[in-house]
Amino acid sequence: MKKTNFLDLGNQPFANNYLTKKNLFKKEKKYRLKVCFDSLTKLVSIEKIFSSKLMFNNTYPYRSSMSKTMIKSFKELSKLIDKKFKPKKILEIGSNDGAFIKNFKKNKTIGVEPCANVEKITKKLNYNTYPEYWSKKLSRKLFKKFGEVDVIYSANTISHIKNLDEVFKGINLILSEKGILILEDPSLLECLKRNTYDQFYNEHIYVFSTIGLENVLKKYNLKIFKIDKLDIHGGSNRYFIKRKSNPKKIHKSVAQQRKAEISYGLKNYKTYKKFASRVKRSRKMLKNIFKKLKNKNKTIIGYGATAKSTTILNYCNINNKTIDFFLDTTIDKQNKYTPGTKIPILKYLGIDRNKIDYIFLGAWNFKNEIFKKEKKFIKNGGKFIIHTPYPKII
Ligand code: SAH
Ligand code: TMP
């Protein structure tokens, strides 16, 4: 294995570790966030990896259902799955609050979600959900109880798990011979193109490219047969995967994506070093924007206290002196403070243009949804600050 780091995002707190008033002045646990490229496997991952139990436990604040974009995307995918693959049983790894499985009949789905505080939302509705980490052991247990499954779906989750061997061996134990595995994760190519360095934080162990993922999958005799490019989370890929023995034809989208990644240079370390210089430039530009606005005494707030924005705020040293507060619809984040930068997070109750001039868009990945919601603020001359593809005011 030849891993070399190419990007240093400084000392960072845990991205989802929102502070309560009580622990606001306690010393926060921090780690050095560096990102590496493995020239053999072509995988991009963070250097320091923490145990799942530290990050995914019964205080996990993230709820997939907080975004209409996600709800809509999951709904459309469920329809497609029913139509194309007609599965009898579907398993979801990382089912969170059930935003995906709720589109199916209760007896048709199995959800695996280790954060019991979120898992219980679906449990209460009588869905078969398990508050456990995905593993071979759990897969065997589910196989004994339910038999094989014909579709496994996992969105924005596999990239959070260090031990990919355990993940795919577990999948191979329960997926039927003709079964389909659907993985969906942010695309490394889009991350580099859009300079979204905030895709990197303690929970996002990997940001996958197709070439990197293919290198992993081949060890388990799994093969990507189609790729859908999605706009979700700043550009994601939805990989449709089959067993190697399944004669299903390979769609041209796979070769197209592979080619796009190779010609962009995703196989070369040099490409990642260039990205790192763009990230440094991005930090300089963003800091300048805030500085200029503050010099003019403008009021700036944040919208969407995302895990991603933890990386940006800490890397660019933007704190509660610059941003007055964040608004967020997630109950578990409200009345807390952003990790490291201690910006208060308030309940979203609309925006008063008379009091607010600029909004830093932490949830830039839901820009369209948010701009639609905040039509009035925009119409009245309110402005947003966004960092991708480069820092600017819009
Ligand atoms: N699939 C949802 C949630 C993504 S957030 C969506 O796309 O919106 C990532 C989820 O992965 C969290 O709910 C987290 O608890 C879960 N997760 C993390 N490690 C896991 C593991 N080892 N096995 C199963 N789920 C895991
Ligand atoms: P994510 O980028 O990690 O998916 O998180 C999005 C965050 O943004 C989540 O905390 C909810 C918040 N949010 C709002 O506050 N208002 C909105 O309209 C949307 C779409 C998200």
Q: Mind listing the pLDDT tens digit for each residue in 224-280?
A: 999 999 999 999 999 999 999 999 999 999 999 999 999 999 999 999 999 999 999
- Can you tell me the mean pLDDT for 60-77? 94
95: domain CATH number is 3.40.50.150
Protein residues with CB under 6 Å of any ligand 2 atom? 66-67, 304-308, 328-330, 333, 348, 363, 365-366, 369-370, 373
User: Which residue intervals of the chain are DSSP H helices?
Assistant: 52-55, 68-85, 116-124, 136-146, 164-174, 188-193, 210-217, 252-264, 269-295, 307-315, 367-373, 375-379
Cα dihedral across residues 332, 333, 334, 335: positive or negative = positive
Contact 17, 345 (CB under 8 A): no
The residue whose CA has the least distance to atom 15 of ligand 2 is 328
> Quick one: which of 235, 255, 215 has its CA closest to 44?
215
Q: Are residues 244 and 275 in the same domain?
A: no
User: How many Å apart are CA 99 and CA 113, to the nearest integer?
Assistant: 12
User: How many Å apart are CA 196 and CA 364, to the nearest integer?
Assistant: 10
Residue at which a domain ends, from 250, 266, 282: 266
Determine how many CB atoms are found less than 10 A away from the CB of residue 68.
Answer: 12
Contact 241, 183 (CB under 8 A): yes
Whether the pLDDT of residue 1 is over 70: the answer is no
Q: Are residues 147 and 257 in the same domain?
A: yes
Confidence at residue 193, expressed as pLDDT on a 0 to 100 scale = 98
Q: Are residues 132 and 207 in the same domain?
A: yes
Tally of domains in the chain: 2
pLDDT tens for each residue of 107-134: 999 999 999 999 999 999 999 999 999 9
Q: Are residues 11 and 143 in the same domain?
A: no
Confidence at residue 227, expressed as pLDDT on a 0 to 100 scale = 98
Confidence at residue 2, expressed as pLDDT on a 0 to 100 scale = 82
- The pLDDT > 90 percentage for the chain reads 98
Q: Are residues 123 and 244 in the same domain?
A: yes
Candidates 51, 112, 156, 160: which one to mutate for ligand 1, based on the most atoms within 8 Å of Cβ? 160
Paired tokens of 155: 């969105």
Q: Are residues 192 and 244 in the same domain?
A: yes
pLDDT tens for each residue of 303-336: 999 999 999 999 999 999 999 999 999 999 999 9
Query: What number of H helices and E strands is found in the chain?
Result: 12, 17
- Can you tell me the mean pLDDT for 283-305? 98
User: How many Å apart are CA 209 and CA 252, to the nearest integer?
Assistant: 17
Contact 113, 96 (CB under 8 A): yes
Q: Are residues 225 and 351 in the same domain?
A: no
Confidence at residue 197, expressed as pLDDT on a 0 to 100 scale = 98
Q: Are residues 28 and 105 in the same domain?
A: no
- Can you tell me the mean pLDDT for 68-96? 97
Residue at which a domain ends, from 247, 266, 285: 266
Paired tokens of 166: 């355990």
- Can you tell me the mean pLDDT for 11-17? 97
Q: Are residues 53 and 88 in the same domain?
A: yes
Supply the range of the domain harboring residue 298: 3-36+270-393
pTM for the whole structure = 0.96
* 378 CA to centre of ligand 2 in angstroms: 19
pLDDT mean across residues, the chain: 97
Q: Are residues 352 and 216 in the same domain?
A: no
Residue at which a domain ends, from 266, 283, 306: 266
367: domain CATH number is 3.40.50.720
Candidates 14, 202, 308, 329: which one to mutate for ligand 2, based on the most atoms within 8 Å of Cβ? 329
Contact 365, 187 (CB under 8 A): no
Q: Are residues 257 and 301 in the same domain?
A: no
pLDDT tens for each residue of 154-172: 999 999 999 999 999 999 9
Q: Are residues 19 and 83 in the same domain?
A: no
Protein residues with CB under 6 Å of any ligand 1 atom? 52, 56, 60, 62, 64, 70, 93-94, 96, 112-115, 118, 133-134, 155-157, 160-161
